Structure 1
Amino acid sequence: MSALLAEQRVEIRHLQKENEAQTAKLRDLELQKPELDQLKQQIQAQTGELDTIKTRTNVTENQVEALNSERKVKQVAFSASLLASGSETIGPYNTHTPLVFRHVVTNIGNAYSPHTGFFIAPVRDAYHFEFYIGAHGHASHSSGAVLVRNGEHIFIAYEHQTSHYGSSANGVTLLLEVGDDVFLRLWTNTRIFDSENHHSTFSGHLLFTM
């Protein structure tokens, strides 16, 4: 009986020690709780700051993409001569006839079509156009072409001489809306000449945005 009682006392002391150790750990945890709460607050604050940075980064990336897209749209320029190959005098005709400048040397932005002869404005901007028209002299037929915007005659280049080669030129700055078209028409009863030397040309480029 005394042996059993002694064993129980040993067990009680062991449990007391475990209890004291657990109580000490609990005290340590309680002492660390403010630090843990502060650490949690710091983590939450850092998480919020990280979210803010991510949002700003996304906004910046979107702005960069928008600026790049806008920059690409602003890159518009073309130059073309009348014939793709060989030499030929075109005209005269008894009506105004659209001209298609097929030999393209520059077409940044692809706003000019060598299949239709039309320049289609991709954005609302100010554009500048130049055209040079030439032909060999003829007693009855001059050389001439008119720049057309949306069916409206704007400026003409015109020259008449009876012999030798003659040329004329003109240029204009236009405010175009998106989808406006610009092209050249051969003037009634006139002629135009081109060859591998590219005498007759049509060019244009974007000046600035509005």
Structure 2
Amino acid sequence: MERTFLLLVAFIFSSGQCQDTDPSSDPDASLAVCKPDIRDSGVYSAQILELQRLIQEQAQLNQEQAQQLKALQESRSAAVGFTAALGHSLGPVPIDIKVKYQEIISNMGKGYNPATGIFTAPVSGMYYFSYTMYNDVAPTPKAFMSLMKNGQRIVSTWDTKGDDSNDSATNAAVLQLKAGDQVYTILYETHQIYDDGANYNTFSGFLLFPL
């Protein structure tokens, strides 16, 4: 902007020639009369074109800076991420149920609701989710869970056979969500998971980038 202003000032002060006038021959005439010099019209045109170019460049720069600021503000307002833990054993359950992870470790954006176990996407975008299932059921483990999106099964973990009863399994997925889409986990009928406050069973998710 400073360069544009200086060019504008230079153009204004160079846009004419000042010719001295003898007051004795013309008492009413001013001492200096500025008249445009036709010979310099090409120079003036070049200055005008340069001014127009610089003004356009500055306007474009201002627009780009405004867009960058808007994108930064949107990215900050769209910061979303959570981790929640079960904190207690669950099951065997008589029906398929949503797992309510009520031990909140983090919940930026308040997308996860511990009362329902459901994460609701506050903004459209690409999200990453993971959950860990742990069981400690002797003599036979019996755990079966899935990550769900709007009622659709996405990925699952399963452990109902084995020589040991202490098993842990984790699964994850990257999902494209619209604002308002819901993601949660399900523990299936007759199955169970174990926790004793050490937070073996967790559910996490975060926004990779908005769309």
Q: Provide the TM-score with structure 2 as the length reference.
A: 0.66
Quote the Cα distance in structure 2 between the aligned partners of 1:49 and 1:191: 71
The structure in which a higher percent of residues are helix is 1
Q: Which residues in structure 2 correspond to 1:77-116 (within 5 Å)?
A: 77-83=81-87, 88-116=88-116
Quote the Cα distance in structure 2 between the aligned partners of 1:175 and 1:25: 76
* Aligned match of 1:149: 149
* Aligned match of 2:70: 66
Quote the Cα distance in structure 1 between the aligned partners of 2:140 and 2:94: 13
Query: Is contact 1:137–1:166 with CA below 8 Å preserved after alignment?
Result: no
SS in 1 for 2:111: coil
Cα drift, residue 52 of structure 1: 4.4
The letter for the 2-side match of 1:192 is: I
SS in 1 for 2:101: coil
Query: Is contact 1:134–1:166 with CA below 8 Å preserved after alignment?
Result: yes
Cα drift, residue 182 of structure 1: 0.7
Cα drift, residue 188 of structure 1: 0.7
SS in 1 for 2:193: strand
The letter for the 1-side match of 2:36 is: P
* Aligned match of 1:34: 36
Query: Is contact 1:92–1:141 with CA below 8 Å preserved after alignment?
Result: no
Quote the Cα distance in structure 1 between the aligned partners of 2:115 and 2:124: 21
Cα drift, residue 150 of structure 1: 0.5
Deviates most, 175-184 or 68-77: 68-77
1:33–1:45 Cα change, 3 Å:
farther
Query: Is contact 1:72–1:109 with CA below 8 Å preserved after alignment?
Result: no
Quote the Cα distance in structure 2 between the aligned partners of 1:177 and 1:24: 77
Cα drift, residue 53 of structure 1: 6.1
Quote the Cα distance in structure 2 between the aligned partners of 1:70 and 1:139: 52
Query: Is contact 2:145–2:186 with CA below 8 Å preserved after alignment?
Result: yes
Quote the Cα distance in structure 1 between the aligned partners of 2:140 and 2:95: 16
* Aligned match of 1:25: 30
Consecutive unaligned residues in structure 1, runs of 5 or more: 1-17
How much is the aligned-residue C-alpha RMSD, in angstroms?
A: 3.8
